[in-house]
Structures are given as C-alpha cells and as structure tokens.
Amino acid sequence: MNTFETKADKNLESWDYKAARLVSNVLNPPLLSALGILVMAWFIGTKEAWRWAVLFVMLVVLVPTGYVLLLLKQGKIENFHIPNRENRTKPYLVIIGTNLLGVILMAVMGAPFLLAAFAVMGVIQSTLMFVINRYWKISGHATAISGLSVFMVAALGWSLAPMLVMVPLVAWARIRTHSHTVWQTIAGVLTGTTFILTTWLVLNAVWRP
C-alpha cells in the first residue's frame, strides 16, 4: 500500500468523515420529505391532516425508498444514495410518479392546502432533479434540505428558521464524503431555494382558499 492510499484510508476513518456520513444518512431526501409532511400535519392539528400525512409517507416516501432498496439488493446501484448519475433515472421517475399520484389524490379529495402544496412542490422538485440529472450530477440532499427549509419558513413562519442551519450542514456533509463537488452542492441549494420559494408564492397567490 502506498503513502497516498494510507492517508486516504485514515481520512475515511476520521471523526469528521464519520460525522458527515451520519448527517448524509439521517438527513436524506426521503426522510426529509416525511419530516416535512409530518411537521405540517402537526401544525394543522386535525385528524384529516394526519391521515393525509400517513398516506403521503406511504405513497411518496416508502414506495420510492422500497424501490431503491430493491435496486440495491439486486446489485444495480452501489449504495442507497446512488452516487452514479446514470443510475438515478429510474428512481427519479418512480419519485415523480408517486408524487404526481399524491397530488391528484389530494386535489380530487380536497386535502388541506398546505399538504397539497407540499405535494405539488415534490413533483416540481423531483422533475427538476430528473431533468438536471440527465446532463449533470447535482446534489439531491442539498436540494431537498434547501427546499424543505425554505418552504417551512415561508409556509409556517420564522419560528422554524432554525431549520435553515441544516442547509450548510448537509452541504458540508456531501462535500466532506466526496459525494459531490462544491459547485454541485451550491447548485442544489440554489435550485431547492429558488424553485420551491417561487412555487410556494405562486400557489399561495392563485390556489390558497
């Protein structure tokens, strides 16, 4: 083993690398999506909101997660975070499909506005990620945490501003684990912030009861 390999191995065993791995695993896009819908159900505080939140988690979080785990079991992807850009196409299509189905159900059956708006943003964000991923590898983690944090503050108020601290934390973790470059994480942050905030303002103006 040469000197470079020895240093690389030690680098992967350092406390900050392990911390970055933990942040990446805990604050991953599916869990963030589940966290967002559950926080909103708690904020609304009705049984109907909780029922929709549970349905959303089952449809939009568990189904795509199960699909990714299946791909992992079959050896078609390297790990749960799918580092290879070319392997992300089918998972993104599953995410878009389940999010779209969720939006249709919520619109037809009259779900609370906040939950329906969150589902619409899921469709838009996952579609953007799918299109960008066709040409360039962007950080899904950074996009997800930025979009969620901005939406929470815009929709529920500045009391949730502490969530914004997680944005640089996740960006650091993705860079530290060598999962993304600095520019890929910056692009994720800008994409999540800009498009989610714009979508929220439009929905709030034209759709909110």
Q: How confident is the model at residue 5 (pLDDT cuts 50, 70, 90)?
A: very low
Residue 9 above 50 pLDDT?
no
Helices (H), the chain: 3-12, 15-26, 29-44, 47-56, 63-73, 89-109, 113-133, 140-156, 166-176, 182-206
CA-based Rg of the chain, rounded to a whole angstrom? Answer: 18
Which of 118, 125, 144 is CA-nearest to residue 208? 118
135: Cβ contacts below 8 Å, ≥ 6 apart = none
Q: What is the mean pLDDT of residues 113-135?
A: 93
Length of the chain: 209
78: Cβ contacts below 8 Å, ≥ 6 apart = 84, 87
Q: What is the 3-state secondary structure (H, E, C) of 171-206?
A: HHHHHHCCCCCHHHHHHHHHHHHHHHHHHHHHHHHH
Which of 87, 94, 93, 85 is CA-nearest to residue 66? 94
Residue 38 zone, left/alpha/beta (φ > 0; ψ -120 to 50; rest): alpha
Residue 1 above 50 pLDDT?
no
Residue 114 above 60 pLDDT?
yes
Q: Helix crossing, 47-56 with 29-44: angle to 10°?
A: 170
Structure tokens of 128? 């953007």
Q: What is the mean pLDDT of residues 190-203?
A: 94
Residue 136 above 90 pLDDT?
yes
124: Cβ contacts below 8 Å, ≥ 6 apart = 195, 196, 199
At residue 19, what is the residue type?
A
Which of 14, 48, 30 is CA-nearest to residue 177? 14
Mean of the per-residue pLDDT values of the chain: 91
Which pLDDT value is given to residue 120? 94
Which pLDDT value is given to residue 42? 95
Q: What is the mean pLDDT of residues 38-53?
A: 95
Q: What is the pLDDT of residues 66-106, one digit of tens each?
A: 999 999 999 999 888 898 889 999 999 999 999 999 999 99
Contact yes or no for 197/164 (Cβ under 8 A): no
What share of the chain has pLDDT > 70, as a percent? 94
Angle at Cα 51 formed by Cα 24 and Cα 67, nearest 5°? 40
Q: What is the mean pLDDT of residues 138-152?
A: 95
